[in-house]
Structure 1
């Protein structure tokens, strides 16, 4: 049986950090004279006490470090339990959600999905909107750590390929994961600060600039306004698209830039493909929109750029009338949402890397069929991809498509129409946060979905965020045996 004490200790420390962060929105609401401050304070006390109890009860648990299985279980436990306490301010204070909706909102924040069940964001206390932004921010930072350090070691869905890619590339310049983590924090906070300053300079209110900057860099999508970026059309949309692109590139490349490797980003075939595919999608939808509507070239390009980057980076902001364009635009949106952005970032989806390797494996198989006597190797960036990587990757993609179908069918059995069901699972498992369908049309939120469907989408967000297999493998009895 796995020793759960080290996991409980780490979860306890995470809850303590969560409790400390709750003091920030409490202070904002107290300064505004809003009684919601006391609700945040009470939630912070409950969360802090739970964290202290877990930490003190397992104080010596990490003396021997973590095994691989413990690290695996710890990652899942953090993303499952942290939203439980992160939801407390939504239940105890404004907007006083039921537990199902509150947990969905907190999971959506921490998994950086960006889907919401709250109507009237503009009228929420400032502290509540700040808390939503903080959930996005800490979730984005946490998943960046997982993507760079844990998933490659866990050998999940082809990510073991980055075990050498992420660490050996640095050589003596960056030999330890702690050094990577420290510089990752510098990059992450640096991008958020620059983004916030840019938003403020272009006309955003202080609260909007802070919350949107945190959500942008986390590729999270929580905004403190119901109409998202429709409130700020024009230059801010271009700025947001640029920062969403920056946030969905591999963080390991930014760390390399800090270590005097200026060509690291451009030399990454995944980053180049991501930018190229995004450009294809934006240009094609822009031309289609100009040809099929009376919209001018510049607004068509701006809205296509903003919304498609938001979807492919799994951020979830929206602007203009994109959701009602229909036809070709929605087909492109669905495809880029499934592909997602780069592995090693806070973005989600299948990832460009996995799609590239899957395409290379398919091409190699076709060449093998055409010339059976040849030995065809699957290569990525000039390196031979091992059979274990390909097997894990194919299993991941199969699981992704399978769960997309099964969860969609399950939603329809609950009375959800097919379009709302498909897009609801698509946006959840891909951590996109961009809603389509009749159930979303009335409010632009997910509040009209039945509770059981909300739980399906909550599970899909967690599965998509943690790489599917990292969660599903824990259902195997032998995972828990020594």
Structure 2
């Protein structure tokens, strides 16, 4: 890779670090409001270090004649997420005196909107740290939307080119220029975040809690201001606001642009959105009815508990209303399966994404029809796009490596001394971006603090791999990538 390419990658990463440094003004202002000035120096030093590092990367300037090729985008994508994660860990180390492993784990969980945590005692924790965790979710959420819409289709990752037409090929139907599309997506993200704050506040939360949970919900992250998560608030309105925000964060943001431009039915006509909402509604009704029958709860109460927890799992948010691992073996296994689904492409949600399951169904149906009618020419389409071999191959490749990474990570975690339930659910929860695992240690009632440092480093890598769609990271491990 040429020196000029490294310079432009460093230049862009410098901008990201300066943005991160400026973002630390938010927790500083929060500390001033809550009169907790004793922790102000930690954020000041963190901001200053991040700012100086960013300015050092910008010092050499941007090479004028150099353009990033698609292969260079792999390096930019991975390096930017890793660097931001490292510098975002500074406040955790300076205020909470966390170890390097714990601080990097927490910041990676925040910026990748995973929601796994090593912190406890959140109800009495510094408001500066609480708002910083939620802000990392919020920044990571908008960052992933940009990556999913603009970068992953260009890098031919996991069939994401199916959605490239929504942001480029048909951009004249949405907005005349791609940078205007980006502005509208940011506007939608800001607008939903603000509406979320107002809704949570009206439902019974304090302004501070409303801001934190709105940022966490729209980014489908899962960090809360209480150890009991969303269950700390008994008002049903709070729970339903969380459900709505999690769903909004899991829908394709490019379709919000279409809606803002007057195509108000764009979201509901999308095949992926229809599948996502159908799975959610079906799960609510089926599991809610079952939970009503095995408990003394009224049906509406049972559906509310199920709606919060299943929506949180499917959208890979990580909020919890009670400890759903105590609901029995059937519910526990179902929750484990739901964690792999994820939201829609081009959203803040993680997981495999709905469209890959839909494409797999289309392929299965086509193959079965081919067996019945060997000479028939079967048309394979998804969302009015033809499924060519290149897209099918990339989807199958991603799905295979997604499964293999979880299996290998779980195996490595058992070598660290973890039991198989903690290891398997922890690997799946971090790679899928769900956050909490299963069992008494890392389940919704626990956290990851008691795990050995080597396990935390492995899970941190799992979060990065899952958020960057795995292949983006794995390609950097190939020797041919570094050859001219």
User: Post-superposition shift, 1:473?
Assistant: 0.9
Does 2:418 match 1:416?
yes
Q: Which runs of 5+ in 1 are unaligned?
A: none
- Which residue among 4, 8, 11 is the counterpart of 2:10? 8
Residue equivalent to 1:55:
58
Say which is worse superposed, 347-356 or 327-336, in terms of deviation. Answer: 327-336
User: Post-superposition shift, 1:170?
Assistant: 3.3
User: Post-superposition shift, 1:285?
Assistant: 1.0
Change (3 A) 1:442 1:423: closer
TM-score normalised according to structure 2 size: 0.96
Conservation of the 8 A alpha-carbon contact between 1:308 and 1:333: yes
User: Post-superposition shift, 1:441?
Assistant: 5.3
User: Post-superposition shift, 1:455?
Assistant: 1.1
- 1:49-448 correspondence runs (5 A): 49-57=52-60, 59-61=61-63, 63-93=65-95, 95-171=96-172, 173-233=174-234, 234-440=236-442, 444-448=446-450
Conservation of the 8 A alpha-carbon contact between 2:437 and 2:444: no
User: Post-superposition shift, 1:71?
Assistant: 1.9
User: Post-superposition shift, 1:443?
Assistant: 5.8
Q: How many residue pairs are counted as aligned between the two chains? A: 480
Change (3 A) 1:193 1:398: same
What secondary structure sits across from 2:118 in the alignment? coil
C-alpha distance in 1, partners of 2:245/2:30?
A: 26
Conservation of the 8 A alpha-carbon contact between 2:114 and 2:221: yes
Does 2:49 match 1:46?
yes
Conservation of the 8 A alpha-carbon contact between 1:84 and 1:103: yes
Conservation of the 8 A alpha-carbon contact between 1:311 and 1:434: no
User: Post-superposition shift, 1:323?
Assistant: 2.8
C-alpha distance in 2, partners of 1:21/1:369?
A: 58
C-alpha distance in 1, partners of 2:181/2:174?
A: 10
User: Post-superposition shift, 1:442?
Assistant: 9.8
| 1:107-165 C-alpha deviation (Å, 9 max, x unpaired) | 00000001100011112111110100110000000001011111111110000111123
C-alpha distance in 2, partners of 1:334/1:377?
A: 34
What secondary structure sits across from 1:375 in the alignment? coil
Say which is worse superposed, 440-449 or 458-467, in terms of deviation. Answer: 440-449
C-alpha distance in 1, partners of 2:149/2:73?
A: 14
| 1:36-79 C-alpha deviation (Å, 9 max, x unpaired) | 1110001111111000001112x123653322122221111111
User: Post-superposition shift, 1:372?
Assistant: 2.4
What secondary structure sits across from 2:46 in the alignment? helix
Change (3 A) 1:296 1:442: closer
C-alpha distance in 2, partners of 1:60/1:434?
A: 41
Residue equivalent to 1:23:
25
Conservation of the 8 A alpha-carbon contact between 1:73 and 1:474: yes
Q: What is the Cα-based RMSD across aligned positions, in Å?
A: 1.5
Conservation of the 8 A alpha-carbon contact between 1:197 and 1:209: yes
TM-score normalised according to structure 1 size: 0.97
C-alpha distance in 2, partners of 1:165/1:391?
A: 21
Say which is worse superposed, 30-39 or 244-253, in terms of deviation. Answer: 30-39
What secondary structure sits across from 2:37 in the alignment? coil
What secondary structure sits across from 1:435 in the alignment? coil
- Which residue among 456, 462, 468 is the counterpart of 1:454? 456
What secondary structure sits across from 1:97 in the alignment? coil
Conservation of the 8 A alpha-carbon contact between 1:364 and 1:378: yes
Conservation of the 8 A alpha-carbon contact between 1:167 and 1:175: no
| 1:322-359 C-alpha deviation (Å, 9 max, x unpaired) | 23213222222222210111011010100001111111
Conservation of the 8 A alpha-carbon contact between 2:436 and 2:443: no
C-alpha distance in 2, partners of 1:171/1:140?
A: 26
User: Post-superposition shift, 1:173?
Assistant: 4.8
C-alpha distance in 2, partners of 1:176/1:67?
A: 21
C-alpha distance in 2, partners of 1:109/1:196?
A: 19
User: Post-superposition shift, 1:383?
Assistant: 3.1
Change (3 A) 1:442 1:319: closer
C-alpha distance in 2, partners of 1:416/1:172?
A: 52
Q: Which runs of 5+ in 2 are unaligned?
A: none
Conservation of the 8 A alpha-carbon contact between 1:110 and 1:138: yes
C-alpha distance in 1, partners of 2:471/2:216?
A: 26
Change (3 A) 1:24 1:48: same
